[in-house]
Structure formats: C-alpha cells, structure tokens
C-alpha cells in the first residue's frame, strides 16, 4: 500500500469575527468574495502573482481577517501539512504579526494547528521577501474531515508600525493510502439495478435553516449497487436538532428488482453532526417516509437523528467491478 499526496485548497471565504475587524482584500484592494474554489490564493503550487493582504487604508479596528472552508478531506487520510507563503512590507515592521490557524468547525471553535509569522521563522524577517512556512498537523485532532477551516489574521501593529502583509499560498498537503496493485475480484458496485432517479426529503415538525443531505443505495441478492445510488438530495430548511418530532421525511420511488435499500446522510449542518450510513435493509413499498401504507411503488425512511456509520464512498460510483494493472515494462 502506497501513499498518495494531494493538495486541498480553499473553497469558501467568510467573515465571521465577533469582535470589530477589517476584511482582507486581494491585490486590487477588492473585498474577498464568498467564492467556490477560492481564486486569489493558489491551492496547488505557490504563485506570487496573486495574493491577499491588508487593505492600504487602515480600518477602524485591527486585525484584518478572513476565514476559509477547506475542501472535504479524503476518507482514511493519514497525514496533513499546512503550507503557507507570506510576505511583509513596510519601513517599521516592529510589532506586526500574522497568524494562520486551523480549526475543527467554523472559527473559532476547536483549534487544531497554529502558524505565527514572524515567530515561526529563523531570525528577523526582511521587507519584500517571501517566506514559505509548513506545519505538520496532528491528524487525531481532526474529527470531521468535512468541517475543517483556516482562519487568517493580519495585525499591522501599533505605534509607528506600518506593516503590510501578503499571502500568496495557503493549502493543505494531505496523504491517503493508495493501492498500487489489486487482485481482480467480483464486487457488486453497479450490478444490473437501475439508478434511483426520484427521491425527495421534507422537514417534519419545526422547520429552520439547517441543511441535511442524503443518498439512497439499492440492493439485491448480489449486494448493494453503489453505482446505482441516487444523486444527493435533501432540505435547506431543516431543524437544527433532529428527533422523533422534528425529523426529516425521506422518500423515493422503488426500482425494479431491488430487494432493499441503504440510506446515507451525506451532509449535516446540525445535530447529530455525523454523516454516513443511517439505515440498512429498508424494504420496498413502505410508502412515503417509510411510515406504512405502501402499494404505491415508493418507500422511505425517517431520519430522527441516528448517528452515522460507514461513509458513502464516491469512488465506488463509477461502475468499476475490478482493476487489473499491467506488468512493469522491461526497459529496452
């Protein structure tokens, strides 16, 4: 078993400080948007052409800040390293500082890792010079791979300090196991079952603003066909805390030859916070929400806040049953 290394980049920028603060800006002094696959700091390789930093005009308060959501980390990741590239400019850099902190959950929840500039470099920093810093993370502190955040604070200093900071790179280098050689064997990833195309969810009881997402996997005598799973669906007006009264009613049309279904929760913005398998062996024709009746060719299930089990594995949705690697070539 080998280890594959991948870079995970920022996918969402937010402003979440409770105390007064000034937003960071890009090189054109524009406020950073709430963007998907954030454009102003590169996630793959260091590139000083684009960057974020302090606004030229000082705000009414310090520090200048931004928070970023990290793209979902892979299943079974084994290592995480924070990579950041920083530059300081100004004539008096006596007490300006930058902190780049990783959090489990939205900042400022549970801190996982901290980088402090210039404290984490050797000697005094030089104006206009780029510094690349790395920090190996204790992966045991990451309890939810889908809810990892970075928080950046650039403090320009007090008194005569006129420090102006820039950041051109912020990315996580993540290691995960990768099998170089596999023994071909039958696995029922897609089998002959049709894809589930009609599925819905609705909040029962008290609504709210919490997002919940699900996927349904059909099964037959050969096993469960992940490749025939429904697309992700769910609600945006869910209750923050699911229970018997305030639950999510999940329903879908039965597909031919399916003998049962597995239900996965793929996103939780409330309680419980866990994702993964929440029901197995759900039989067909139970009726809307799985509450009985039947006879209409549909079935369902109630999510009352059950803890999630095994995660839904996207890599199994490609209809692949086995992989054979060719023999190593002999150099000529």
- CA 267 to CA 250: how far, in whole Å? 14
Task: Please provide residue 317's backbone torsions phi and psi, each rounded to the nearest 5 degrees.
Answer: -90, 10
pLDDT class of 138 with cuts at 50, 70, 90:
very high
**HSE-CB of 325 using CA atoms within 13 angstroms:** 8
Q: How confident is the model over 278-320, as pLDDT tens digits?
A: 999 999 988 878 877 666 688 999 999 999 998 887 655 544 4
Confidence band, pLDDT 50/70/90 cuts, at residue 266:
very high
Which DSSP symbol is given to 18?
A: S
Query: Domain segments of the chain: what residues?
Result: 2-178, 199-318
In the predicted model, is pLDDT for residue 75 greater than 60?
yes
Cβ atoms within 10 Å, residue 124: 8
Region 179-184: mean pLDDT is 49
Span 218-259, pLDDT tens digits:
988 878 888 788 888 999 999 999 999 999 999 998 988 899
Categorise residue 236: left if φ over 0, alpha if ψ from -120 to 50, beta otherwise: alpha
| 150 in Cβ contact with 170 (< 8 Å) | yes
Band (pLDDT 50/70/90 cuts) for residue 32 is: low
Determine the pLDDT at residue 211. Answer: 92
Rounded CA-CA distance 318/225 in Å is 11
Q: What is the pLDDT of residue 182?
A: 47
Strand pairing partners for 226? none
Instruction: Please identify which residue in the block is written with the tokens 């469960």.
Output: 224
Mean model confidence pLDDT for the chain: 79
User: Do 263 and 278 meet the contact criterion of CB atoms below 8 Å apart?
Assistant: yes
pLDDT of residue 188: 41
**Candidate from 91-100, 109-118, 314-323 with smallest mean pLDDT:** 314-323
Instruction: Specify the higher pLDDT residue, 291 or 197.
Output: 197
- Per-residue pLDDT, 272: 93
pLDDT at 69 over 90: no
288: three-class secondary structure by DSSP: helix
Complete DSSP assignment for 189-225: SSTTPPPP--EEEEE-SS--SEEEEEEEEEEETTEE-
Over the Cα atoms of the chain, what is R_g?
24
Residue 184: the pLDDT is 47
| pLDDT > 70? residue 11 | no
Is the whole-model pTM more than 0.85? no
Q: Which two tokens stand for residue 51?
A: 């960057």
The tokens 């996997």 sit on which residue? 217
pLDDT at position 90: 79
Of residues 248 and 332, which shows the higher confidence score? 248
Predicted local confidence at residue 185, as pLDDT: 40
| Cβ-contact 271, 305 below 8 angstroms | yes
pLDDT at 243: 94
Q: What percent of the chain has pLDDT over 70?
A: 74
The CATH class given to the 2-178 domain equals: mainly beta
pLDDT of residue 290: 81
Provide long-range contacts, Cβ within 8 A and 24+ apart, for 304-307. Answer: 304/242, 304/243, 304/244, 304/247, 305/241, 305/242, 305/243, 305/247, 305/271, 305/272, 306/272, 306/278, 306/279, 307/272, 307/274, 307/278
């Amino acid at each position: 078993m080998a280890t594959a290394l991948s870079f995970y980049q920022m996918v969402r920028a937010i402003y979440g400080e409770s105390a007064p603060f000034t937003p960071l800006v890009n090189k054109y002094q524009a406020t950073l948007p709430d963007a998907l696959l954030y454009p102003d700091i590169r996630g793959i390789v260091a590139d000083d052409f684009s960057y974020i930093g302090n606004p030229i005009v000082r705000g009414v308060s310090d520090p200048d800040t931004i928070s970023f959501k990290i793209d979902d980390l892979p299943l079974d990741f084994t290592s995480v390293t924070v990579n950041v590239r920083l530059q300081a400019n100004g004539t008096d850099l006596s007490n300006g500082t930058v902190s780049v902190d990783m959090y489990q959950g939205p900042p400022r929840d549970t801190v996982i890792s901290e980088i402090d500039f210039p404290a984490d470099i050797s000697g005094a920093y030089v104006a206009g010079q780029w510094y690349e810093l790395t920090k190996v993370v204790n992966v045991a502190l990451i309890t939810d791979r889908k809810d990892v955040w970075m928080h950046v604070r650039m403090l320009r200093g007090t008194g005569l300090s006129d420090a102006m900071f820039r950041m051109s790179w912020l990315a996580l280098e993540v290691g995960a196991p990768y099998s170089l050689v596999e023994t071909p064997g039958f696995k029922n990833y897609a089998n002959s079952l049709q894809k589930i195309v009609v599925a819905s969810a609705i909040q029962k009881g008290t609504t709210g603003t919490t997002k919940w997402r699900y996927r349904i996997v059909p099964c037959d005598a050969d096993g469960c066909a992940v490749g025939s799973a429904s697309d992700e669906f769910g609600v945006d007006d869910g209750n923050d805390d699911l229970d018997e009264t305030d639950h999510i009613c999940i329903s879908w049309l039965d597909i031919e030859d399916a003998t049962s279904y597995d239900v996965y929760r793929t996103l939780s913005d409330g309680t419980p916070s866990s994702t993964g398998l929440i029901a197995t062996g759900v039989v067909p024709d139970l009726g809307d929400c799985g509450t009985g009746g039947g006879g209409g060719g549909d079935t369902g299930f109630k999510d009352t806040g059950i803890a999630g089990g095994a995660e839904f594995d996207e890599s199994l949705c490609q209809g692949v049953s086995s992989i054979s690697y060719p023999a190593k070539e002999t150099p000529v």
